[in-house]
């Protein structure tokens, strides 16, 4: 008998669903409260693009003399692409005032929206950069780059 198929997903596109919040203070980032999330700032309406924000593990080769095959073991955990591109305002009243270089807090990513019972990821961060690239055919953006300062809390249930 063949293996049963995985359950079907309800597919979606991130536009209009995914949310990113900046939350200055979370007492226990593995379990944020509704009040802490509500005290944050929803960045989503001004986001032009984001990096991957993927929580990934590297691998380390672990060869031995018994075989030509090189086995691998799990390596260090890191975050791939912790960036957010936000629209710039012609009067400079934009994300630059909220997230200047050196700002410490948390980026909370809600892949399926800020909906009780769904999942979110919490990234303790420090803002590293506010790049201002010039693309003559696109709206101006501020490219925010972050250092993730602690292992992120993955798949936390939204309160």
Q: What is the pLDDT of residues 37-51, one digit of tens each?
A: 999 999 999 999 999
| % residues pLDDT > 70 (the chain) | 100
Domains of the chain: 19-157 (2.40.30)
Q: Please, which contacts does 45-49 make with residues 24 or more away whose CB atoms are closer than 8 Å?
A: 46/86, 46/87, 46/94, 46/95, 47/20, 47/84, 47/85, 47/86, 47/87, 48/85, 48/86, 48/87, 48/139, 48/141, 49/84, 49/85, 49/141
Q: Per-residue pLDDT tens for 49-106?
A: 999 999 999 999 999 999 999 999 999 999 999 999 999 999 999 999 999 999 999 9
Tell me the whole-structure pTM to 2 decimals: 0.92
pLDDT at 33 > cutoff 90: yes
Average of per-residue pLDDT values in the chain: 96
């Amino acid at each position: 008998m063949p293996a049963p198929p995985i359950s079907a997903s309800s597919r979606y596109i991130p536009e209009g669903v995914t949310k990113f919040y900046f939350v200055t203070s979370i007492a226990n980032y593995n379990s944020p409260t509704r009040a802490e999330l509500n005290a944050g700032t929803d960045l989503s309406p001004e986001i032009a693009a984001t990096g991957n924000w993927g929580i990934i593990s590297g691998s380390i080769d672990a060869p031995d003399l018994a075989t030509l095959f090189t086995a691998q073991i799990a390596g260090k955990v890191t975050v791939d692409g912790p960036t957010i591109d936000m629209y710039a305002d012609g009067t400079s009243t934009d994300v630059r005032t909220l997230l200047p270089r050196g700002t410490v807090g948390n980026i909370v990513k809600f892949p399926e929206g800020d909906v009780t019972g769904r999942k979110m990821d919490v990234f303790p961060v420090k803002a590293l950069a506010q790049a201002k690239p010039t693309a003559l055919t696109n709206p101006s953006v501020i490219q925010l780059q972050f250092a993730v300062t602690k292992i992120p809390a993955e798949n936390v249930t939204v309160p």
